Amino acid sequence: MSGRFDPSTADRRWQARWEEERSFAADSASNKPKTYVLEMFPYPSGRIHMGHVRNYTMGDVIARYRRMQGHEVLHPMGWDAFGMPAENAAMERKVHPGEWTRANINTMRDQLKRLGFALDWDRELATCDPSYYGHEQALFLDLFDAGLVYRKESEVNWDPVDMTVLANEQVIDGKGWRSGAPVERRKLAQWFLKITDFADDLLEALKKLDQWPEKVRVMQENWIGRSQGLQFRFELANSPPQIDGIEVFTTRPDTIFGSSFIAVAPDHPLALAAAETDPKAAAFIDECRSGGTSAAEIETAEKKGYRTPVEAVHPLDPEWRLPVYIANFVLMEYGTGAIFGVPGHDQRDFEFARQYHLPIKRVVAASTEVASEPIGDEAESMAGVAVNSRFLDGMTTEQATAEIIRRAEEAGWGHGTVQYRLRDWGVSRQRYWGTPIPIIHCPSCGAVPVPRDQLPVVLPDDIEFDKPGNPLDRHLTWKHVRCPSCGGLATRETDTLDTFVDSSWYFIRFASQPADKPFDRAEAETWLPVAQYIGGVEHAILHLLYARFWTRALQRLGELGVAEPFKGLFTQGMVTHETYRAGDGSWLSPDEVKRDGDDWVHIESGHPVTSGRVEKMSKSKRNTIDPEPILASYGADAVRWFMLSDSPPERDLEWSEGGIEGASRFVQRVWRLVNGNLEGASEDEALKRKLHRTVAAVGEAVDDLQFNKAVAQLYELVTAIEKAQPSATRAEAVRALILLIAPMAPHLAEESWALLGGGGLIANAPWPSFDPALLLDEQVTLAVQVNGKLRDTVTAPRGLDRAAAEALALASDKVQRQLAGASPRKVIVVPDRLVNIVA
RNA sequence: GCGGACGUGGCGGAACGGUAGACGCUGGGGACUUAAAAUCCUCUUCCCGUAAGGGAGUGCGGGUUCAAAUCCCGCCGUCCGCACCA
């Protein structure tokens, strides 16, 4: 066999072989060290895109590399198959969401197989399958029984276009994350999961996730948003009868004597009570609610308040009365929905106090000497020592904080506490295409769990999408059932679970999938935690936090002995492409334009085209490249190689024609080596060292997920082999090269391996080893510097002593010219590296 | 506003405090060919110089060091996340 490597036949041939031999089926009972490599499973939107290709190629390299290192590797794939696009398709094209989804899965599975990923297809799962979501319902009921699920009438974010409730996380700038429509507030009874029960655990454990990107840890930390402080109570004077006090939370109890007003949120019970008798208060509250919540609006929004007739009594001085305002900048959702204002030391309070001419008092200073210094143009929020604060004077911020909390607890008007930004997770969705919540509502028994032997609660297939809203709500025979508890007439919960629930445990089901329960604990624990999880940074908060919560909840229930699901996390960069616009501003796709010198023109019309910035591939900007035709013309290995080349994996990768061409060229170069002269009995010492260095470097790079560096190393090795004369070493180097590229370009590697008579599949071959003694050359190049500037390089035997190195350096003509007869004042020798002569 | 990441040739990017620009892409020159494709060789940070050689250079300004892209201080800029969180 010779000529060009032909991926169009080779790819399929090896893919069929792997499938036949079930090469990548993971054996849970294996004695080998176990490694679980997982990429975030895709939503079956229709076709694979370049982002998937990059993501799954990285995971595949790790999976294949670990296999070659003798690990039993679990590398599964499945489908995050519930969600709104399926319903949208159902409405637009009159197909059943399930039918649409399954067709997409078939297409995408086929595409993934053609990329040659080493996946265990035996464990494939789709979350829309009752054999998956039925177990999810069982787990939901486990959480329910453990008191981690509750139902609450609550104000929700209602998306008027998608006709569904959104989690806070799904509201971006006051708009629905998917529809982009402005979100409305509605009151609905919703199911919640008690993620806040785990807030501290989730926060604390972040510190130990040392194989996670710092960025993601910080994002989760901020999302959980832990604040420690004092919650305390103001008694009121002149208050509405139904309100008998205001609870406030502060992280700065030490500033309690700097307080000059109290402010409550427009939704606060006191504000609502005031509005009942005071039309002006009611009008003010309405005005606050109409205000936008976009970033720009918040930034420019003035601090506004409405002064109620109510007065608050300072807890440390019964004579001291503070005015009570309703204020637009106080949030009902955080803390107690009320604050005490300390204008001197909080910027928002400062702005508010200026607006309404309230006292701005200094109660914290750098030292007691500057206690009378007035506050300038800005609040001073930093710590210092307490001043003008009676018994606190002279204490540090820390001491004063502790002292106030102590007094409050002693006197009973407050207590030290912790507040979180994190809210409980609302999981109810008014959607058809999701996991039915296994609850039956009975007028006499209330919310009753569906008995376990009646699971799964299967979605009915005969539904209609001709009206907006949830079809389950209109499906009478599905909805109306008997109460499992009393046998009376009852109705099913027609809400389905947030799809983030589906993805909160799929990695456990991958590890173990018995038919009669969600997972087998012992089997799951042989694989978990996931050694390396790879996906987009867009899931840094929601998915990863929910999955962490779910795992911890199962641990608390005693169902799984794993606290953290993902030991290593890697967030890969996006695949980007230049954008193109026609004269009328419309976006053009890359295959509608061509280069004309330095400019771009529209192929069809010849009109000039402006090329815009390089951006994430997206349908709206039309700058996508479909992997399929690329795969057809270049083969899987070239595509995979390109995905790993050039850009560091955490950064964006710009798609380029040149890049894929280069990758394809590399595949052919390797093929030519394999088909070239591999005769020879002699040894090639230099090539041997190069080979061992490369084996070491590639392994190290892959261990660190620095695929671009591994690729560069392999290019160097290929060049070195090409230039070497035929020898036994050269033949050995070609054989090792094939092993080294096997995780990245597996089809080429198998084809080459077979040609070289490697025996068996290269997928099962051991990773090459290296001799550490061969990593260093006998001869080294010493840099010779004069005053830190490079002037010459000299070749020297490795391990040359200082005196000899110095002598060698000083013998250099160039050095002598620089010294111009002067004698060096000092000579620095770094063995085997450099000599620096200080003149 | 808070937090994070980053800033190196025409481009993507390499570089335990120790030869800046590995490797790839692009471009120039050449070989092979009737020709092209493919392939191979060679050059490609900038400036001066035919060359030998010299000078400058990792966003900007300082500092530490024999030696700084790398460490420290102060700026500037870009990207990302969160955001009236008490």
Closest CA to A743 of A778, A703, A777, A776: A703
Report helix, strand and coil shares of chain A as percent, to nearest 5. Answer: 40, 20, 40
Query: Nearest residue to nucleotide B82 when comparing alpha carbons to its C1'?
Result: A222
Phi, psi of A184 (to 5 degrees): -105, 165
Q: How far is the CA of A663 from the C1' of B23 (A)?
A: 13
Query: Nearest residue to nucleotide B5 when comparing alpha carbons to its C1'?
Result: A215
Is residue A617 helix, strand or coil? Answer: coil
Query: Nearest residue to nucleotide B84 when comparing alpha carbons to its C1'?
Result: A329
CA gap A200, A94 in Å, rounded = 47
pLDDT of residue A514: 97
Closest CA to A691 of A659, A717, A673, A655: A717
| Closest nucleotide to the alpha carbon of A788, via C1' | B67
CA gap A654, A712 in Å, rounded = 17
CA gap A576, A643 in Å, rounded = 12
Question: Mind giving me the DSSP string for A213-251?
Answer: -HHHHHHHHHHH-EEEEEEEEEEEES--TT---EEEEES
- Predicted structure pTM score: 0.92
Q: How far is the CA of A789 from the C1' of B68 (A)?
A: 12
Query: Nearest residue to nucleotide B41 when comparing alpha carbons to its C1'?
Result: A723
**Residue A723 neighbours by CB under 8 Å, 6+ apart:** none
Q: How far is the CA of A671 from the C1' of B2 (A)?
A: 54
CA gap A472, A493 in Å, rounded = 9
Q: How far is the CA of A540 from the C1' of B2 (A)?
A: 19
Contact A454, A484 (CB under 8 A): yes
Q: How far is the CA of A632 from the C1' of B25 (A)?
A: 22
Q: How far is the CA of A715 from the C1' of B58 (A)?
A: 25
Query: Nearest residue to nucleotide B11 when comparing alpha carbons to its C1'?
Result: A654
| Closest nucleotide to the alpha carbon of A723, via C1' | B40
Query: Nearest residue to nucleotide B26 when comparing alpha carbons to its C1'?
Result: A658
Query: Nearest residue to nucleotide B14 when comparing alpha carbons to its C1'?
Result: A709
pLDDT of residue A294: 42
Query: For A250-269, how does the pLDDT look when each residue is reduced to its tens digit (9 = 90+)?
Result: 999 999 999 999 999 998 99
Q: How far is the CA of A579 from the C1' of B3 (A)?
A: 31
Q: How far is the CA of A4 from the C1' of B19 (A)?
A: 40
Chain B: nucleotides below 7 Å from protein CB are: 3-5, 11-16, 18-20, 22-26, 38-41, 53-55, 66-68, 80-86
Helices (H) and strands (E) in chain A, counts: 27, 37
pLDDT of residue A578: 83
Strand pairing report for A184-193 and A149-159: antiparallel
Query: For A18-52, how does the pLDDT look when each residue is reduced to its tens digit (9 = 90+)?
Result: 999 999 999 999 999 999 999 999 999 999 999 99
Q: Which amino acid is at A57?
A: T
Q: How far is the CA of A788 from the C1' of B67 (A)?
A: 5
ipTM: 0.94
CA gap A231, A408 in Å, rounded = 9
- As given in the structure block, the two tokens for residue A398 are 């820390």
Is residue A165 helix, strand or coil? Answer: strand
Enumerate residue ranges in chain A where pLDDT < 50.
Answer: 1, 292-296
